[in-house]
């Protein structure tokens, strides 16, 4: 009976001590993208990314994190091994600004600085808002693609889109309340215009200006033969995905001193 009372007391102390802990952190790594310029490689990371976050740890298993991440995505048909894509000859790049709210689930009972278990794998998922602005370089000049309506849209596609972040990671308590982790995450965006390529070639006569008519179909720049006939498929008609991987460094603030917790 004494052991039972002791266990209940430990659980109560743990609840009081660990129910309210805050964990700010920073992130640095790489960003990449899957879409009309990369349909098959989920590990094609091309650019630097960085971010900051603040996490609320509710217990040793579950936390919620609010984060901001900056990255960049890009693609070019000229680099493709697919002859059909090389003939299309489109390209783009875009900054990515993301604000996310995710839930994180630890596999082990993990309390930074005070638990016996000093590391844990984890999974995460949530919701995010991503800001994007696809651009292309033509003859040394950079063009913002959204206002050109390169697929004959009636109006410009939005500057922001919802996305669904999900992924896995491993973190370790390496010194005091300091945590170091490595994370791999994917974001399915509710848009097919991260890369400005979505559906079909339009009637060039109906496009907004000369720049739009040039950048909608660049297939003939080298050969003089243009393949973008109206109604022909220009994109893959699927939502785009961007991915982010890298290292996290965070510090956990405990509300008060607490006993060491077993895993």
Residues of the chain with pLDDT > 90, as a percent, come to 76
| Structure letter (DSSP) for residue 139 | T
Instruction: For tokens 């995460």, name the residue.
Output: 124
What's the domain range around 89? 2-251
pLDDT on residue 256 = 57
In a domain, 38, yes or no: yes
Mean pLDDT of the chain: 89
Domain count, the chain: 1
Domain for residue 120, yes or no?
Answer: yes
Classify residue 76: in a domain, yes or no. Answer: yes
In a domain, 258, yes or no: no
Higher pLDDT, 10 or 158: 158
Q: What is the average pLDDT across 87-96? A: 96
The structure's pTM equals: 0.85
> In the numeric block, which tokens belong to residue 3?
């052991």
Does residue 257 form part of some domain? no
Residue 263 lies in a domain: no
Please indicate whether residue 2 or residue 180 has the higher confidence score (pLDDT). Answer: 180
The answer to whether the CB of 238 falls within 8 A of the CB of 92 is no
Give the pLDDT confidence score for residue 57 in this predicted structure: 93
User: What Cα–Cα distance (Å) separates residue 186 from each residue in 41, 243, 245?
Assistant: 12, 4, 9
Is 219 part of any domain? Answer: yes
Identify the CATH number of the domain in which residue 59 sits. Answer: 2.40.160.20
């Amino acid at each position: 009976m004494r052991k039972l009372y002791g266990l209940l007391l430990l659980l109560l102390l743990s609840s009081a001590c660990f129910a309210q802990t805050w964990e700010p952190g920073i992130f640095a790594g790489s960003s990449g993208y899957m879409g009309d310029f990369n349909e098959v490689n989920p590990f094609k990371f091309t650019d630097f990314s960085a971010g900051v976050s603040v996490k609320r740890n509710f217990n040793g298993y579950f936390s919620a994190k609010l984060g901001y991440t900056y990255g960049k995505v890009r693609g070019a048909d000229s680099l493709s091994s697919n002859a059909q894509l090389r003939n299309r000859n489109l390209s783009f790049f875009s900054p990515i600004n993301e604000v996310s709210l995710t839930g994180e689930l630890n596999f082990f009972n993990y309390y930074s600085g005070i638990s016996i278990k000093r590391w844990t794998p984890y999974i995460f998922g949530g919701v995010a808002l991503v800001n994007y602005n696809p651009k292309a370089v033509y003859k040394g000049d950079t063009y913002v693609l959204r206002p050109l309506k390169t697929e004959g849209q009636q109006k410009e596609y939005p500057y922001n889109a919802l996305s669904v972040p999900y992924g896995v990671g491993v973190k370790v308590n390496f010194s005091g309340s300091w945590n170091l982790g490595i994370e791999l995450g994917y974001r399915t965006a509710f848009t097919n215009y991260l890369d400005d390529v979505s559906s079909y070639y339009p009637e060039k006569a109906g496009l907004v200006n000369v720049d739009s008519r040039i950048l909608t179909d660049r297939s003939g720049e080298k050969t003089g033969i243009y393949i973008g006939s109206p109604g022909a498929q220009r994109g893959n008609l699927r939502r785009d995905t961007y991915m982010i991987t890298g290292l996290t460094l965070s510090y956990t603030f405990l509300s008060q001193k607490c006993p060491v917790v077993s895993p």
